[in-house]
Amino acid sequence: MKLETKDFEEKMKKSAAAYEHELSTVRVGRANAAVLDKVTVDYYGAATQISAMAQISIPDARTMVIQPWDASTLKAIERAILASDLGLNPQNDGKVLRIAFPMLTEDRRKELSRQVTKMGEEAKVAIRNIRRDANDRAKDMKKKSEMTDDEVKASEKAVQDLTDRYIKTIDEITAKKVKDIMAI
């Protein structure tokens, strides 16, 4: 019997996709609605994402406009953005919030690059943990006499090949994001 690697490959694929989504929330000097994904507003007792309670538009590269569907939530959205760790300062004109994305300083670029690299390392650790789980399952199957030594070695090699492929993917995603940060 051979270890099925499809489940583990799917987990690795999901880890890489989650990392890529997490990177989209990193603010890089251009207006991007994804930076607000982690910001929630207390809306009638429920934590609600801003995108679920307002229209978010990007009129130009450095400006974001948030227009709530319920005007009474404007102040709550403004407070939630100010309380977040995004470093954004929304301007309230009574109907909409305007957020200007300032140019990044060299120090901020370096800090963001380090942050992205750290997030990449965490994603690679998640991939390696999936590899460990797969190898542990193969060893358990060998103990139960469901696999031979050769099958365990073949499974470990297949899982290592998957791991190498997804770690390379994480490295490529990280390098592209760091390049984007430094180019702005």
Residues with Cβ < 8 Å from 3, sequence gap 6 or more? 134, 137, 138, 141, 147, 151, 155, 158, 159
The residue-averaged pLDDT of 150-161 equals 91
The residue-averaged pLDDT of 170-179 equals 92
Report the C-alpha gap between 84 and 148 in whole angstroms: 54
Q: Quote the pLDDT of residue 134.
A: 92
Tokens representing 86 are 């995004």
Contact (CB, 8 A) for 156 and 149: no
Q: Quote the pLDDT of residue 170.
A: 95
Report the C-alpha gap between 64 and 58 in whole angstroms: 5
* DSSP three-state, residue 90: coil
| Residue range 50-99, pLDDT digits in tens | 888 889 998 887 888 999 998 888 898 998 888 887 778 889 888 889 98
pTM beyond 0.85, yes or no: no
Structural domains for the chain: 6-24+105-183 (1.10.132.20), 33-100 (3.30.1360.40)
Q: Quote the pLDDT of residue 67.
A: 92
Q: Quote the pLDDT of residue 184.
A: 65
Which uninterrupted H or E stretch holds 48?
Answer: strand 46-49
Q: Is the pLDDT of residue 10 over 90?
A: yes
Q: Quote the pLDDT of residue 136.
A: 92
Provide the CA 161 distance to its chain's centre, in angstroms.
24
Q: 122 pLDDT band (50/70/90 cuts)?
A: very high
Q: Regarding predicted confidence, which is higher, 1 or 45?
A: 45
